[in-house]
Each structure stands twice: as C-alpha cells, then as structure tokens.
Structure 1
Amino acid sequence: MMIHGFSFLSLSASLVLPWALTGLVQGEKITESLVRDVRQSFTVQEMPLPSRKLISAVSTATTYYVSGQGNDKNSGLTTSSAFRTIQRAADLTDPGDTVLIMNGVYKNSGNAGSVVNIERSGNAKAWIRYKAYPGDSPKIQHNTWSGIGLSNGVSYIEINGLEVIGNNANVTLAYALNQKWNSSNRLTNGTCISVEGRVNAVHHINILNNKVHDCGGAGISVMGADYVKVDNNTVFNTSWYSVYGCSGISFLKSYNSDNNRGYKMFVTNNRVYNNRMYIPWIGAGKITDGNGIIVDVSKLSQGGSYRGRTLIANNITYWNGGSGIHAHDSEHVDIVNNTAYGNGQTSSLKKGQIYAGYSSDVKIFNNIISAYPGQKANSNMKNTNVTYDYNLYTKGAEITVMGPHDIIGDPQFVNPSNGDFRLKANSAAINKGYYWKDLKTDYAGKPRSAGRYDIGAYEHQ
C-alpha cells in the first residue's frame, strides 16, 4: 500500500533507505556477456622507407582477481597476485573488464557504506562483470548500509554467483525494537544488494545466480533504475529489523531511460522465502511489507509513469510475511507462471498471495496461488485493466477475483514443507495454463510444453 509517511515526501512502503542517506547506498548493475574492447587497427607510414609497415595496436579487456588471501598492493592480474578487497578492483575497472572473486570473506571496513561500491560503468558492447571465480564460493558479509552498492548513474554491470550476508545474526528482536525510531542505524537497516538510482538513474544491471540473505533491510533493492534483470537468485531471511518497509526483492519507481515499451525489467527464476518485517515501518507506525517480490509505485517514476513492461515469471515465493508477489500503484506488469505458497505469515497483512492494488495494465496468468484455508488468495483494490486468468487456487482459500479460466484444485506439490514445489503426475496444474509466448522454459530451465503450459513455476517432466 502507498503510505504518506513524511510531510515533505510521499514514500512507498518498500522504500529501503531515507532520501537523506542515498549517498551511502549504491545501486548495482550487471550483464550477461563480456565483449572485449578492441580498438581499430591503424597504419603508420614510415618515411623515407619505400613501403608501408602495418602496425596493429589491440587493447584487450583486463581480468582482475580478488582473494581472501590477497593483498591490495598486488597487481591483481593473476590468481597468485590477487587483490584482497573487491573495492580495489572496482576502482580500476574499465568497460569490458571482469573481476573474478575467489574464496574468502569480504567485509566492510570501518564506516564504509558498503563492502563494495560500484560507480565505474561498462558500455553497451563491453559490460563490467563481477563474478565468483569458477568453483569458488566467495562471501560478502556486512554490517553497514549495503553489501554491494551500485549508484551514481552506473551502467552495464553484472553481479554473478556471489553470496551476500547481512547482520541479522548479530541483532536481537529486542534490540531492533529498541531502535525502531532510529533511521540511521546501519546495523539494523542494511540491504544486501542495493541499486540506487533515485538521484542519478542507473540502467542495464544484471543480478544473477546470487545467494542473498540475513539483511535487516531488503534483499535486492532496485530504485530509480531501467533495464534490470534479477534472475536465478535465492533470497531469504531479509527485511526483519529495518525501520523501513522492506521486501525480499523490490523494484521502486522504475526509471524511463528511453521510450521502449517492451520488456525491460525482469524478475525471473528466483526462490524467495522467509522475508518479513518484525519492526513497524517508521513512516506509518505499523508493519506494511515483508513481501517476497514487489513492484512499487512505478506510476510515480522520474519523468512520469514507467513506460516499459516488467516480467515477473517462474519465481517460487513462500513463507514471506506479506504477499508472495504483488504490484502496488504500478502498471505494465506481467505476473506469469509463479508459485506462491503460505505467504502472509504476518497476521495483519491479508491482501493475498499474488495480487495487484491501485494498478493498471497488469496480467496475472498461470500462477499457483496456494493460501491456507480462510486466507486471501488475491484481491482487487482500485485496479483498472488488471486481469487474472489461468491461475490455480487451493481449496478453502478466499478468492476475490476469479478469471474465466481460473481453477480450484490440488497442485500436488512433491514436498512443500521442504520447499520442493515440483508437481506430481496427478497435479491439477498440468496442461491447464495459457501459452505465454515470451516464456519458453520453467524455473528449472526445462522447456515448457509446445501446447498448453502447466500452471506454476515448474513444468511437470
């Protein structure tokens, strides 16, 4: 819900940090491919020689290495001369460069706003990539505003295969409640990955294959950005202790960097669970969010309502405090082939497992919406042109909106208590979905049926 918490600024409940502190939070961007930066060859005529000698100068991209056993006085150019901090590499990158991060625990130093603050951009033909070294499992652990921060208009950045751990293990609920009016406490309010574009808009960011958890604030927060892909991440145990209304994955006030009206924002193939608020949002004095995934107030984007489309597909969201997935005060959103189970763990949040509110041009198709008996499956608050169809609802759930091809049935999950939401052979979801031409594979990367899709994140194999 949109809540007006401050006299000078209308803020969404998914806002992670105060406007005054945006300088401490960094946005982040990522891409899917590395293109070498190859400059044109040139010729030099040497006089008075009778012939011309062709001299080629080729500049290739640089790979930097970071290791828990490294040293920032090293060159960073080989595994044996690796840097110790990711920031050292981030301060050197040029378009096309790759930072390979080896095993180690990487922490913020002193009062730094993040473990790594990314402000140097790639370009459309040469992204900058931050990746786990092949076979390694590096950990970014922090007790500050963000583990990884991207800001200052940064673009064409990829974050891939990292684990980001927040400060929840060092915070008690009693301490957090004592700090519920303290908006400047980085111990309780820190975000795992922060894409901050509200001052200088960021664009072309890919956040892929990361494990993100135990941050007092949001898991992955994207604010004032365009062309962002959040794909195949696992996000859990976030949003617990912040005084801001946070969620596992949140997109706030997406930014129009161009007039493209096609898909530009992607939240796909993520597993998002046990994200919830225990501390009231400071702007409203009550718990408002703790959702799995939210697209928030895109109608109030910089330069007017966000014009691009957002695709939320093949996600598994369960046991979150608020909704599994919802669009609030937003438009041009497609919520397709997701599985939502047992969300709404916060008893005061009763709007549904998957829903849209105060929104327009939203399509909610092919989702398994599994609510407890008597719990709301969906809702329809002041929407225009919001369509629910080809969804499966579980028996006993309260269904506010029922599309013409929606069904009530048993999804027959393999083992939901252990987070296994694959379908058994007798599932009511099999072959009951709509063919969504822009979605060819399921959560596991398996091809969708050429005919009728199965409902939910998994296609039965």
Structure 2
Amino acid sequence: ALPPAPRDTEHCSLCRLPRPALLPSMPRMLLALALLAHALGQEAPDSDAVCQEGDARRTPASSMMQVKQFKDRATRHFTEDSQSEDQADNQEGKLDLKVPTGLASIDDAVTPAPDFEEPVEVWTRAAHVNASCTFNVMNAAFVSSSSGTDADDFGASADKPYKTIAYAVTKRQTCQTIYVMSGIYRNNNFGAGMDNEAVVNLDGVSDLAIRGYEGNTALPLIEFDGVGGFVGGSALHPVKNVEISDLEIVGPGKSITYPQALAERLNSKKHFRGRGVSILAGDHINLHGLVVHHCPSSGISVTNADYVAINSNIVHGNTWWSPAGESAVVLASSKNVDDEEGVKMLVASNIVYGNMNKVPYYNKDYSWDYSPMGDLICGDYPACREGKVDGCPWQCRYGQSTQDYIIDGMGILVASNRATYLKGETEIADNVCYGNGINGLVVHRTDRVQVKRNVIYDNGRVPRGDKPEPKAEDWHASAGKGRQPYSGLVLNNAEGVVLWSNRVAARYADDYAFTQEVDGSGPPAPLRAGGNNKACNGRVDVNPTSVVRETDDVSKCGVKYQEVACGEKCHLIQWPYEMKGSFAAGDARSSCENVCAEAALDNAGGCKAFSLQYDYDKKNGHRMCFVYKQSPEPQPEQCRSDPFNTDGCSYATQEGQFFITPAAKAKYAVMDLM
C-alpha cells in the first residue's frame, strides 16, 4: 500500500521560512544526530515533526522544538561543565565595538551569550523580499522510480506518479511541490560514458519545492556519474525560490581510483568533476535535510546568489577526485539582489566530514607565468616556462600542470564575496566539521560574517611534509610538499567578522586552530565582536587573541576519537572486542567510527575505541572494523596501561589504524608505539 498523502500543515512557505530543520522522512539524518548527541552527552530529537505555517525557522511545532532544544543543549555542553573558566573567558575576551547601522546591538557580545534566535527576525523580515508563492499540498506532483510513468496524464497523485524527477521539473507548475518517493533516480546514460549530464537540470527553475515524500521509509537516492545531481543556474536563467530537501545524493567517488583521477587531471570529463547540488546563479535557495556523499567535487555549492539557506545536511566523502580545488560546502561569489542589511546567507547545523582533495589543483586558464600565490614574478624562472618542477617555486606551479601538492579542500568555505556581496550578512553557525582535508571552516575574502557555535576538530587530513602519517595512502606518495600548518578555522582577508563560542581542535599542536590572514605585512582588521571561543589543540592568531581561550582538554572541542600510532601492531588482543564488519578503505574510518558510536549507545559493553586492519578474507582492499568494549576491563592487568608498548597486549596487523576516546586514552595511558 502507498503511504498516506502528506498533510497540508507540513508544507511551509520557502520565502518566509529561511532556516529549515529536520523533517520526519530523514531516518539517516536523525541517526547521525543521535550519534552526535551521544558524543556531546545530549538527547537526540524525536522524528514526529510537523511543519507549521508561519514559523520563522521552518520549525515544526513538536519535534522541531525538540531539535532546537537539542541544539541548544549541544551548544551549551562545552561551557556548562566548566562554568567558572568560561566566565573568566567572557570577561577577558569581551569586545565592545560599534555595530554597523541596521544590526542588533552587540554590547553584550560576550556576556551573556547571544540569544539563539538573534538573527531570525532580521532574516525573516528580509526574506519577504521577492517572496512569490507559498508551497502547499493542493498543488503537488508525485514521482516514483519504481511505479511511475513519464506521461502527461500522470504525476497528479501518489497512486499515479511520474517516473523521473527531471520529467516532473519540465512539467512543473508555479509554486508546486514535487514529492519524491523512495527509490533510485539516475541521470540519462548512467553507467556509460564520462560526460553525462545532471540528474535534474535546474536552469531557469523558479517557485518549486522538491522534497522527499512524507511517507518514505528511506531517503530517495539520487545517483549520478556525470556533472551532478541537481545542477543549474546562470545570469540568463537563474534559479529562484527553490527548495530541495530530504534526499540522498551520491556520486561515483567510491568507484574512482587515484590513478584514474590523476590520469584525467588535465582533462575536463564530467565524471571526475560532478557535484551533488550546484546552483550557479539565483536567489531564495533553500537546501536542507540532504545526505550528500562521494561526489568527486563539492557536495553542495551555491554561487552568484542571495538569500541562501544550507541547513541540516550531512555532507561527507566528497571532493576526492576533482582537480578543481573544491570544498565540501561552498558559498562563493555571492551577489546581493537588494539593499537589506540583515542575515541573508546561512550555513547552519550541517555535519561535514571526510571531504578532502586527493588530486592537485589544475586551472587550464592560468598562463605559465601567472600565480595568485604570493608576490613572486614567475616569468623570471626559466624552469617555469619549460614546465619543470625543479627550479620553479611551488607558488608559481599553483594551478599549473606541474603542481604536485595539495593546499585546497575545506569542509565549509565561504569565499570571494567581498567584491560582489555588498549588502547583507552571512551566518555560519552550529556546524560540526571534522576529518576534512585542510581546514574545517574558512571565510575567504568575505566581509560581515557571523561565525558562531561551530565544532571543528581532526581536520588537516592532507599530510604535512614534516609529520609522518600513521598510515600512508597512494595519493600521499606523489606530494611534492606538505600542506600548510592550518587545520581549524581560518579568516582570510575578512572584515566585520563576529566570532562567538566556536570550539576548535587542530590536528597538531603547531597547526593553527584559529587564525586571521591578510594580504601584505600589516595586521588583520580586528573582529567586530567575539568571545567564548576555545582552542583545545593548536595555535591561535586572531585580533584580539583574548576572544579565544586555550585548553588541553580536547573533548571540550568535540573530539570523539583520537588516533594512536600503532605501526604494524594495531589490534589490542587483550582488550574485550567485537568484529563489526568490513568497509571500503576510503570510508572505513568514518563507518567504523559510526559503528563504535552506535555501540556506545547500548548496554552491551559499549565502545571506547576501534581499530582498522586489512581484510585478509576478502583481499579486496577493504578494512575490518574492531570495536573495543567499555567493559569488562582488559586482562591481564598489565594491558590496562600503555598497551601498545607492553609485551603481549597487541597483535600484528597489516595497514592498521587505532582510534580511542580522549577519556579512555587518558585512563589507560594509551601512547604511540615506540
């Protein structure tokens, strides 16, 4: 039987509801939030959400209030267990600066904390501009890949749906909602060819919502092997007043190998450059409830746009194979469509992990003597003219065919907006960014940005030349130089920034956790406001430095598991453990970490650590996942302290890795193998 039709109360106006949250058709999203909540010591939200018209945050009345409370508690978690220390932070770190006309007062920018709803009224007021319709159930189309037909007399009901989203979009009506039922939706020619088009072309699309069907038991799967999932927009054909929500979008990243991607680096085949969602021009764009993974390029990218909300998405395992220097979640080259001064661009409540560049950047439009890096005159180096590596500075090889290093690939990147986004603010808030290639969050050449309550840790997975990796991968070997010493939160040529209550742990103590960069030799502009930030590992260089306090407790910055160097002895044979499956090498760490976090939720021994090792049975490059229980205690007793350096406690492995919670690492004195 088909699931019941969606209720009218669950469909809200896009233009009036700019900060969406989780919807009931998102089981994977809720699982991820449950795991995140557990890591923060919080309760997860329920899934019986109902969206109500008129709520300024697209927050359904019951469960969405629980989501808000969950986020509040998760954010407060880091300060409530050390209240006296944070009170000291607040007093020392307070900035009392003038505020540009039109913004709320920030005289209390540090004490007390800003109200969670602070920017909403400004956003809602501004978002009424160009609001052209309200989406409702009375004007709906339905799509089912398994039971639908692409014909004119289909699509009007769940009993008689269209077959493809692309066809439904071509038949769209103004202010319509397209409901996508569970199933697999692919681009034309899928599985054949390297230059396929998008699953859904959004050129010129306006006044349309594309949502997962309310009765779905699994997110609809949008699978592409070409230019992307949802792609479109241009100056002549912008995307306007469009919502995309409650879908899973997956690219071909798992099936691409490093040798294949490297061989195609100088070409432009779409198979190696596809994005999950790519909107190239428009306004009033609302992207939420999406799980976007294994896209060769960005997971979610919006450029040349205004009034954009990227909210409550999971974005992981992207940007591995594109040579375009892309990041997982991107707002770039934004263009204001009016003179409103409030928050109009929003990146909030996303979980962004495992995104990195494995292929060096290449730009075919760079002349041999051009480089945007530094102030070298590249034309003075004959080796650069001859296309040689030796004798040509690395800065002059940036974007050239001879570039053999990786310094791009962030979790969240807001970039190149200063010259084009002249009115309005951007808010980046309540995101969790970990395990990404360089930094977790970067604001680059963009002004008037509010960066609040983000949790950033364990980034910088691209190797540094002076730091050996516990486990070398094939794409590490060809690097001519290591990455820059940054793996946290970076403000690069950004003015008018608010920096509040962020928690950052850099990968290494001599990486920058917080830093401001500026062209030239002068100091960066001081923050507009800030305070109550914590650096749990890494260096701090912001103006003024007092807005960030340093601590050695990495758990305060969201670090759930720390890697321990274990050489070829990565299995703690004397610790109670379970084998929990085999995963593809590229996803093994995140998959096993999720298994461990999920095991920690039950009472069957829990999980304090996990390890990976080559799967000898499958012999296909996969990694076996071992989880080590919270109880009972290791036996014999000598294996309860420094186990990797104690005889008889560890076992030989191939291509192994070991990860442990900070608390267990301290309790059992788990040190790197000597």
Mark yes or no: TM-score above 0.5. yes
Shift of residue 288 of structure 1?
3.1
Whether 1:290 aligns to 2:375 is no
Shift of residue 134 of structure 1?
1.3
Shift of residue 155 of structure 1?
0.6
Specify which of 245, 251, 263 is matched with residue 325 of structure 2.
Answer: 245
Letter in 1 for 2:531: D
Counterpart of 1:68 in structure 2 is: 145
Letter in 2 for 1:251: L
Contact 2:226 2:271 in 1 (8 A): yes
Name the structure with the higher strand share: 1
Structure 1 residues 82 and 393: alpha-carbon distance in aligned structure 2, compared to 1, 3 A threshold: same
1:168-179 aligned at under 5 Å gives the runs 168-179=253-264
Shift of residue 374 of structure 1?
2.4
SS at match of 1:88: helix
Counterpart of 1:426 in structure 2 is: none
Whether 1:259 aligns to 2:344 is no
Whether 1:153 aligns to 2:238 is yes
Contact 1:256 1:308 in 2 (8 A): yes
Contact 1:207 1:230 in 2 (8 A): yes
Specify which of 109, 112, 117 is matched with residue 201 of structure 2.
Answer: 117
Letter in 2 for 1:72: D
Letter in 2 for 1:399: V
SS at match of 2:159: helix
Shift of residue 316 of structure 1?
0.2
1:370-449 aligned at under 5 Å gives the runs 370-372=505-507, 373-382=509-518, 383-386=524-527, 389-395=531-537, 397-401=538-542, 403-409=545-551, 410=553, 412=555, 416-417=560-561, 418=593
Q: Which runs of 5+ in 1 are unaligned?
A: 1-28, 36-58, 421-461
SS at match of 2:171: coil
Residue deviations 1:210-265, cap 9 Å, x none?
Answer: 00000000010111010000000000011111110111101110011011121000
Name the structure with the higher helix share: 2
Contact 1:94 1:120 in 2 (8 A): no
SS at match of 2:272: helix
1:19-418 aligned at under 5 Å gives the runs 32=17, 61-69=138-146, 70-73=148-151, 74-110=153-189, 112-119=196-203, 121-122=205-206, 127-136=207-216, 137-151=219-233, 152-182=237-267, 184-197=268-281, 202-283=282-363, 284=399, 285=403, 286-301=405-420, 305-346=421-462, 347=464, 348-372=483-507, 373-382=509-518, 383-386=524-527, 389-395=531-537, 397-401=538-542, 403-409=545-551, 410=553, 412=555, 416-417=560-561, 418=593
Residue deviations 1:363-400, cap 9 Å, x none?
Answer: 222100111322211222113233553211114x2222
Structure 1 residues 83 and 243: alpha-carbon distance in aligned structure 2, compared to 1, 3 A threshold: same
CA distance in structure 1 between the aligned counterparts of 2:52 and 2:170, rounded to whole angstroms: 19
Letter in 1 for 2:249: V
CA distance in structure 1 between the aligned counterparts of 2:52 and 2:243, rounded to whole angstroms: 10
Between the two structures, name the one with larger relative contact order (CA 8 Å, sep ≥ 6): 1
Letter in 2 for 1:83: Y
CA distance in structure 1 between the aligned counterparts of 2:526 and 2:559, rounded to whole angstroms: 36
Counterpart of 1:10 in structure 2 is: none
CA distance in structure 2 between the aligned counterparts of 1:322 and 1:273, rounded to whole angstroms: 11
CA distance in structure 2 between the aligned counterparts of 1:155 and 1:206, rounded to whole angstroms: 10
CA distance in structure 2 between the aligned counterparts of 1:158 and 1:143, rounded to whole angstroms: 23
Structure 1 residues 323 and 218: alpha-carbon distance in aligned structure 2, compared to 1, 3 A threshold: same
Across the aligned residues of Structure 1 and Structure 2, the Cα RMSD in angstroms comes to: 2.3
Percentage identity across paired residues of the two chains: 26
Shift of residue 104 of structure 1?
1.0
SS at match of 1:114: coil
Letter in 2 for 1:262: G
CA distance in structure 2 between the aligned counterparts of 1:394 and 1:171, rounded to whole angstroms: 36
Letter in 1 for 2:330: S
Shift of residue 80 of structure 1?
2.1
Residue deviations 1:425-457, cap 9 Å, x none?
Answer: xxxxxxxxxxxxxxxxxxxxxxxxxxxxxxxxx
Letter in 1 for 2:297: G
Counterpart of 1:5 in structure 2 is: none
Instruction: Tell me which stretches of 4 or more aligned residues in structure 1 moved more than 4 Å.
Output: 29-35
Shift of residue 326 of structure 1?
1.0
CA distance in structure 2 between the aligned counterparts of 1:175 and 1:293, rounded to whole angstroms: 27
Letter in 2 for 1:144: G
Letter in 2 for 1:406: V
CA distance in structure 1 between the aligned counterparts of 2:527 and 2:348, rounded to whole angstroms: 20
Contact 1:93 1:120 in 2 (8 A): no
CA distance in structure 2 between the aligned counterparts of 1:161 and 1:30, rounded to whole angstroms: 15
Structure 1 residues 141 and 34: alpha-carbon distance in aligned structure 2, compared to 1, 3 A threshold: farther
Residue deviations 1:268-288, cap 9 Å, x none?
Answer: 000000110011110323423
Letter in 1 for 2:485: K
Shift of residue 163 of structure 1?
0.5
Letter in 1 for 2:497: V
CA distance in structure 2 between the aligned counterparts of 1:362 and 1:109, rounded to whole angstroms: 44
Shift of residue 406 of structure 1?
2.4
CA distance in structure 2 between the aligned counterparts of 1:322 and 1:333, rounded to whole angstroms: 21
CA distance in structure 1 between the aligned counterparts of 2:14 and 2:264, rounded to whole angstroms: 34
Letter in 2 for 1:412: S
Shift of residue 405 of structure 1?
4.2
CA distance in structure 1 between the aligned counterparts of 2:457 and 2:301, rounded to whole angstroms: 22
CA distance in structure 2 between the aligned counterparts of 1:121 and 1:176, rounded to whole angstroms: 32
Shift of residue 93 of structure 1?
1.5
Contact 2:457 2:559 in 1 (8 A): no
CA distance in structure 2 between the aligned counterparts of 1:361 and 1:90, rounded to whole angstroms: 40
CA distance in structure 1 between the aligned counterparts of 2:414 and 2:266, rounded to whole angstroms: 26
SS at match of 1:307: coil
Shift of residue 119 of structure 1?
3.6
CA distance in structure 2 between the aligned counterparts of 1:287 and 1:306, rounded to whole angstroms: 32
Q: Which runs of 5+ in 2 are unaligned?
A: 1-12, 18-50, 54-135, 190-194, 364-398, 465-482, 519-523, 562-592, 598-674
CA distance in structure 2 between the aligned counterparts of 1:274 and 1:159, rounded to whole angstroms: 23
Contact 1:269 1:315 in 2 (8 A): yes
Contact 2:334 2:417 in 1 (8 A): yes
Residue deviations 1:153-185, cap 9 Å, x none?
Answer: 121111010000011122101100111111x21
Contact 2:505 2:559 in 1 (8 A): no
Shift of residue 129 of structure 1?
1.1
Letter in 2 for 1:91: T
The structure having more radius of gyration, on CA atoms, is 2
Contact 1:356 1:386 in 2 (8 A): no
CA distance in structure 2 between the aligned counterparts of 1:306 and 1:237, rounded to whole angstroms: 33
Contact 1:224 1:252 in 2 (8 A): yes
Counterpart of 2:373 in structure 1 is: none
